[in-house]
Structures are given as C-alpha cells and as structure tokens.
C-alpha cells in the first residue's frame, strides 16, 4: 500500500490526559495502574484516566457520557489540525471510523441502578445518544463537520486498530481523501465482572511476559488520529494485516497461526522484509495463553531478535480503545527515540521465544509494528514508519 500520512494524533489513558503527560510518565517509569475502586467482591487493578472531564458543551449535551467526554477531549487536543484538514477536503470526502467495545455502557449502568432504586430510568437518559455505538459518530460529525462514510468497528480488543485498515482501504480505492480514526473505551462494572468470570483478571498489577504473570488489568482511554491522502507528516501508516482464525470464542490459537498471518500480511502490505521492523508493541495482555501464543507467532515471523514490549503494564488493557492507544504509543517511541520497558516482566518467562524489553531503551527507531488480537481469533497488525525512513 502507498504510505498514508498521519498528520496529527491525540491520546488519553491512565498515564495522562495529553500526549505530553503520557510521554512524561513513560519516561519517568511510573505505571498508571492502581487498585480498582469499583464496588466489586474481588480485588484487581485498573488503569483509570486521572481527573474528571467536564460535561459536554450545551450544544452537544444530549450526547453526554464518559465515553463521549473522552472523545470530545481527544478532538479538542488536536482541534487546529482537524479544522485545517476540513478546509483542505470536501466534507463528503472525510470519513470517520471509530472502534469501541463498551461505548457508553458506564452511563447505562448508572441509569439501570437508578431504575433499580426508583423504579424508573433517569429522565435525561437516552439509549441511542448515551449507550449506542453510533453516538460517538454523531459527536465527531457534529463537531468537525465530516460528512463522508462513517461507522463504528466493534471487534473487541482489535476494534480501534481495525479503523486504520478501514481508512486505508477507502483512501487507496479513492472513496475518501482523509479520515478521523481511532477509538475509546471506558471502565465499567460489566467488563470487570466479565473478565473476572473468565478467570482472566490479575489481583496484582499485570505482568506481561513474566513467568509470574496472572492475567490482565482493565484500563480506559483511547486515541484519535488524522489520516490524509497527501500531506507532509512526521509519521506514516505503511502497512496493515488482518486475519480471523476463529479458533475459539475466548482462547487464542496455541501456535498463533492467525497472529502470524496478520503480521505477515502487514509486512507484505508495507513491502518490507521482516528485518526492517525495529520493534513490536505486542498485544501482551499478561495472560498465560496470549503471551505464549504471541511469542511463538513473533518468533515464527521474525528471524532476528527484535525488541518486543507491552504497554499494558502502564495503561491496563483498554479493550476497544487499546489498538489505537498502542499505535499512539508507538508513534511516541518513534518520535522521541526510546522504547518503554515492559513493566513487571521480570523474571521473564524463559519459555517465551522473544526478546522482551525489560528496561527503557534509547535509540533511533524508524519502523514499528503494533499487534492487536481479540476474542474469536480476530487479529490485526499495523506497521508505522517515521518520516526519516525512506518509504519502500
């Protein structure tokens, strides 16, 4: 595929509310995970965004929910860039593709609790504006004026990464000229209870690739990015690979055959040899099955011992928002010349055939891969490149 410029991006998660805050925490070595404050009958850690978001402005108030407050915040963080983009392209040629798995379910949970206590839903609760996936599209379109193709991707933990594949296809086929892509998810009781029922939650901070790993921590947040057909940009989307092995509804294929396909297709899409990739931001959930599967898949595709890290020990697993979040963290690594440590990896599981980044690594990196894998064997790998690297 032809490289697609990423002209701007914003990110918000347990490390901070802005790119600068996230970058500073990554450099300081301080995880964003803390003991969960939800009223649960079990213990775990979560990655909550610090502070509170103000309500949406009156003109957008009908859509007010935590998920949309985060989305609004992410849009405001790059307002000059998207306003300029909307001037360069016809509104009908700007697409909006957003990934989420929980949407506004946190607001629905609170509304349901009110109904349990009073017998009626809150008067201001609106299922379609507060809970439904399409609400995030309404918000973005109303704020930016984008009128091109728009839809939500909800494929669990690959949701927001797959929006990059969607945008790339439509740009390549000439159906759009630019796109707003990414995703967001929030913490909610249902997600925490659900993963607890699968025995997938860790009672301590998650420890990807460690021999002592227990499972995942749930996080919240997301990232938005602006893609254009032609632009001067520091970073480019240069390859995307997808697969769906449908091995099991929740467990990954033991050998990671679908993950291998996604990574191989991503390299082919980018017209790159495997040794051209400088590092991988792994899906790295900290569960025994996922880390083992992903390690085998990486080892099968990459013959050289490239650095592999997971950022879920920093932010938690943001589910539908994780893919875009981790793509944004890759861009920060490329831009600022360092790889974050995999928090909690020591002692690394020696049965995993990957070179895990255990301490922050400084250097010049130009090409990155970000992996996202989901329930049902849904897989995607995204390849990114810094502008200093000549495009293949």
Reduced to 3 states (helix: H, G, I; strand: E, B; else coil), residue 373 is strand
Average pLDDT, stretch 327-344?
97
Q: Taking all residues of the chain, what is their mean pLDDT, rounded to a whole number?
A: 95
Domain borders along the chain are 4-386
pLDDT category at 72 given cuts 50, 70, 90 is very high
- The one catalytic residue in 317, 330, 355, 386 is 317
- The one catalytic residue in 283, 330, 355, 386 is 283
C-alpha distance from residue 176 to each of 236, 237, 337 (Å):
17, 16, 33
- The one catalytic residue in 12, 130, 131, 157 is 157
157 is catalytic: yes
- The pTM score is 0.96
- What is the C-alpha separation between 331 and 7, in angstroms, rounded? 12
> What would the pLDDT profile of 211-270 be if each residue is shown by its tens digit?
999 999 999 999 999 999 999 999 999 999 999 988 787 777 888 899 999 999 999 999
Instruction: List own/partner pairs for 35-41 with CB under 8 A and 24 or more apart.
Output: 36/192, 38/187, 38/189, 38/192, 40/189, 40/192, 40/193, 40/196
Q: Which of 234, 225, 177, 229 is nearest to 19 (CA)?
A: 225
> What would the pLDDT profile of 139-161 be if each residue is shown by its tens digit?
999 999 999 999 999 999 999 99
- The 10 Å Cβ neighbour count of residue 148 is 21
> What would the pLDDT profile of 81-127 be if each residue is shown by its tens digit?
999 999 999 999 999 999 999 998 989 999 999 999 999 999 999 99
State residue 391's pLDDT score.
43
Whether residue 180 is predicted with pLDDT greater than 50 in this model: the reply is: yes
- What is the C-alpha separation between 381 and 265, in angstroms, rounded? 8
The correct answer on CATH 3.40.50.300 for the domain covering 4-386 is no
Inter-residue contact 106 to 171 (CB < 8 Å): no
Whether residue 392 is predicted with pLDDT greater than 50 in this model: the reply is: no
> What would the pLDDT profile of 260-313 be if each residue is shown by its tens digit?
999 999 999 999 999 999 999 999 999 999 999 999 999 999 988 899 999 999
State residue 119's pLDDT score.
95
Per DSSP bridges, beta strands 361-362 and 34-35 are: unpaired
317 is catalytic: yes
State residue 388's pLDDT score.
62
State residue 249's pLDDT score.
78
Average pLDDT, stretch 47-51?
96
188 is catalytic: no
% of the chain beyond a pLDDT of 70: 99
Whether residue 2 is predicted with pLDDT greater than 90 in this model: the reply is: yes
State residue 184's pLDDT score.
97
């Amino acid at each position: 595929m032809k490289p697609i410029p990423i002209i701007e991006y914003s990110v918000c998660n347990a490390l901070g509310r802005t790119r600068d805050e996230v970058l500073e925490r990554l450099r300081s070595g301080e995880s964003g995970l803390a003991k969960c404050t939800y009223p649960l009958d079990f213990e775990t850690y979560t990655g909550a965004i610090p502070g509170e978001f103000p309500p949406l402005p009156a003109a957008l108030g009908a859509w007010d929910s935590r998920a949309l407050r985060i989305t609004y915040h992410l849009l405001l963080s790059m307002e000059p860039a998207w306003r300029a983009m909307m001037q360069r392209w016809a509104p009908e040629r700007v697409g909006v593709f957003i990934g989420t798995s929980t949407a506004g379910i946190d607001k629905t949970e609170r509304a349901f609790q009110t109904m349990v206590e009073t017998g009626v839903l809150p008067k201001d609760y609106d299922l379609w504006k507060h809970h439904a996936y399409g609400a995030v599209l309404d918000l973005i379109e109303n704020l930016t004026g984008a009128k091109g193709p728009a839809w939500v991707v909800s494929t669990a933990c690959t949701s927001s990464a797959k929006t990059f594949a969607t945008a790339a296809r439509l740009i390549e086929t000439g159906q759009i000229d630019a796109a707003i892509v990414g995703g967001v998810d929030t913490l909610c009781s249902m997600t925490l209870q659900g993963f607890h029922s699968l025995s997938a939650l860790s009672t301590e901070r998650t420890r990807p690739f460690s021999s002592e790993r227990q499972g995942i921590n749930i996080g919240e947040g997301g990232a938005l990015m602006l893609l254009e057909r032609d632009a001067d940009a520091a970073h480019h989307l240069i390859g995307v690979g997808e697969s769906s092995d449908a091995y099991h509804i929740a467990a990954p294929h033991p050998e990671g055959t679908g993950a291998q396909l996604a990574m191989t297709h991503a390299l082919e899409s980018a017209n790159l040899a495997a040794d051209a990739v400088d590092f991988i931001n792994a899906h790295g959930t900290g569960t025994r099955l996922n880390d083992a599967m992903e390690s085998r898949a990486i080892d099968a595709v990459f013959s050289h011992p490239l650095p592999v890290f997971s950022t879920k020990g920093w932010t938690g697993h943001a589910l539908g928002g994780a893919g875009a979040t981790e793509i944004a963290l890759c861009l920060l690594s490329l831009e600022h010349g360092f790889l974050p440590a995999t928090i909690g990896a020591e002692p690394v599981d020696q049965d995993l055939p990957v070179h895990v980044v255990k301490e922050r690594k400084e250097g010049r990196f130009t090409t990155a891969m970000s992996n996202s894998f989901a329930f049902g064997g849904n897989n995607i790998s995204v390849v990114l490149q810094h502008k200093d690297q000549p495009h293949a």
